[in-house]
């Protein structure tokens, strides 16, 4: 039986993919590195964002027009969220549903129904705001007077990267931008509990934000 190998004896099915080429972003100033990273993320059109901070986590897939994922607020419970354009759907766990029903003064939310409305509704706008889609439509830029420093090229989560550090009063936020392939801003670390730690991945992957199936109840009007 013949082996699956090429003429040189190498495996025909185990060719290594070429390594990503250096992009030179580390040669820029600290501010330029940060701005380049956030711009590159926006130009990807979509990404997977996992965020954690004191009392809350989120796991979302985002594009400029769509958002799908989950949000967990320790004190309030968790909910699934879908946002498509100006429309927002949210499906709560029992803790979140109970808390919202008490606040609304009516038994509206339940774990087997999606709450639906548009961003013109205050409640739905608030639930949909976790998506932070402005990262794709209006990527952040550091102010000219923001004092940041550039770190050395290192490896973070297996990715060669250069860091940009904003430090003040013994606390800091560190942003990491890839130095090979496209210069994506792929991670944020903070020393403050109330500031988020964020990981970005799956750049350019389609976000399938569709109206969910199942029972739907309309959000109360103000």
Q: What is the pLDDT of residues 6-40, one digit of tens each?
A: 333 433 333 444 678 999 999 999 999 999 999 99
Q: What DSSP character marks residue 1? A: -
Neighbours of 205 (CB within 10 A): 14
Listed by start position, the domains of the chain span 25-216
Quick one: pLDDT at residue 154? 96
In sequence order, what are the residues at sequence separation of 6 or more whose Cβ sits closer than 8 angstroms to the Cβ of residue 85? 65
Given a cut of 50, the residues of the chain with pLDDT beneath it are: 1-17
Neighbours of 1 (CB within 10 A): 3
Q: What is the pLDDT of residues 140-168, one digit of tens each?
A: 999 888 899 999 999 999 999 999 999 98
Give the span between the Cα atoms of 152 and 33, in whole angstroms.
Answer: 12
Quick one: pLDDT at residue 213? 92
Output the average pLDDT for the chain: 91
Give the span between the Cα atoms of 59 and 48, in whole angstroms.
Answer: 8
Give the span between the Cα atoms of 123 and 106, in whole angstroms.
Answer: 14
Let me know if domain 25-216 sits in CATH 2.50.20.20.
yes
Global pTM value? 0.88
Give the angle 214-217-220 at the CA atoms, nearest 5°: 160
């Amino acid at each position: 039986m013949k082996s699956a190998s090429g003429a040189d004896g190498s495996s025909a099915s185990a060719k290594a993919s070429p390594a990503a080429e250096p992009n030179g972003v580390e040669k820029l100033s600290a501010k330029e590195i940060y701005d380049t990273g956030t711009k590159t993320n926006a130009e990807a059109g979509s990404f997977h964002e996992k965020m954690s901070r004191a009392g809350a986590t989120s796991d979302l897939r985002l594009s400029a027009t769509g958002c799908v994922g989950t949000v967990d607020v320790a004190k309030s419970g968790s909910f699934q969220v879908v946002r498509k354009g100006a429309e927002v759907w949210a499906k709560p766990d029992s803790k979140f549903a109970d808390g919202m029903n008490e606040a609304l003064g009516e038994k509206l939310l339940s774990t087997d129904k999606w709450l639906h409305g548009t961003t013109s509704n205050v409640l739905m706008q608030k639930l949909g705001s976790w998506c932070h889609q402005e990262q794709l439509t209006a990527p952040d830029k550091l102010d000219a007077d923001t004092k940041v420093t550039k770190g050395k090229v290192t490896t973070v989560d297996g990715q060669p990267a250069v860091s940009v550090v904003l430090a003040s009063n013994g606390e800091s936020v560190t942003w990491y931008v890839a130095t090979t392939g496209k210069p994506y801003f792929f991670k944020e670390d903070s020393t403050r509990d109330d500031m988020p730690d964020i990981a970005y991945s799956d750049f350019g992957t389609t976000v399938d934000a569709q109206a969910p199936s199942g029972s739907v109840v309309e959000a109360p009007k103000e």
